[in-house]
Amino acid sequence: MSRLDSAIRRLQAQRLCLDEAAVLVEGRPGHILEIGLGNGRTYDHLRCLFPERDIYCFDRRIAAHPDCIPDDGHMFLGDLANTLPLAAHRLGPAAILAHADIGSGDRQASLDLAIWLAEALPPLLAGGAVVIGDQPLPNTAWATLDLPGGVAKGRYHMYRAKPA
């Protein structure tokens, strides 16, 4: 598979999983966490899927398209090690969906960050929240969800936190 094919499949998988997550949380209250704002592509898709919900974004720097930069009240700027605890304090356990798109060119560093994230996220999650990510997010308290049709196993990852 060419790198172009691989990039297209990753983006298609992201969109399919975000769309599926929107169905899974429909009618359930809570805000959205976008962990890894990057250039704002998935944030923009989340805005389309959830026009009525607050979406809180995280990144160590702003590098998003100018149209895809959240206002200051919805942006946690800095390393996740600092901003996730801050967000937990400010927002409490009220996110109904968390999307983590944190992968970098360093595969092992991405996997390690995801392992840490899976342990750091629960104070931010409402009962039964959906968690999806580009990396495996190993938390034994979460159930692994089936991926939507068209997404190859291992390309994206979907979980549901324990109900409250």
Ligand X SMILES: C[S@@+](CC[C@H](N)C(=O)[O-])C[C@H]1O[C@@H](n2cnc3c(N)ncnc32)[C@H](O)[C@@H]1O
C-alpha to C-alpha distance for 102 and 139, rounded to whole angstroms:
17
Instruction: Give min distance, CB of 152 to ligand X, in A.
Output: 19
Contact residues: ligand X, CB under 6 A: 36, 38-42, 58-60, 79-80, 101-103, 113
C-alpha to C-alpha distance for 58 and 41, rounded to whole angstroms:
14
Tokens coding 18? 């975000």
Question: Toward ligand X, which CB reaches closer, 88 or 128?
Answer: 88
Instruction: Give min distance, CB of 63 to ligand X, in A.
Output: 6
Instruction: Give min distance, CB of 1 to ligand X, in A.
Output: 19
Which H or E run contains 158? strand 157-160
Question: Toward ligand X, which CB reaches closer, 22 or 128?
Answer: 22
Using alpha carbons, select from 132, 126, 122, 118 the residue that is nearest to residue 164.
126
Residue closest to ligand X when measured from CB atoms: 38
